[in-house]
Amino acid sequence: MARQHFDPMGSTAVITGASSGLGVAFAHEFARRGADLVLVARRQERLEALAVDLAERYGAESTVIPMDLTRQGAVDELVGDIERRGIRVGSLVNNAGFASYGRFGEIDGDRMHQEVELNVAALTMLSRGLWGALTAHCRTSPGNGALVNVASTVAFQPVPFMGVYAASKAYVLSLTEALWYEAKGTGLKVTALCPGPTATEFTEVAGNGELFFKNPQTAEQVIDTAFRALDARSTPPSIVSGAGNAAGASLVGLVPKRSLLTALGRATTPGRRR
Residues serving a catalytic function are 165
Rounded alpha-carbon distances, angstroms, from residue 159 to 169, 233, 254: 11, 34, 16
Strand partners, 37: 13, 62
Question: Whole-angstrom Cα distance, residue 152 to residue 169?
Answer: 6
Of 116, 133, 171, nearest to 14 by C-alpha is: 133
Of 114, 96, 94, 101, nearest to 213 by C-alpha is: 101
Q: Is 124 exposed, middle or buried (0-12, 13-18, 19+ CB in 10 A)?
A: middle
Answer whether 10's CB lies under 8 Å from 34's CB: yes
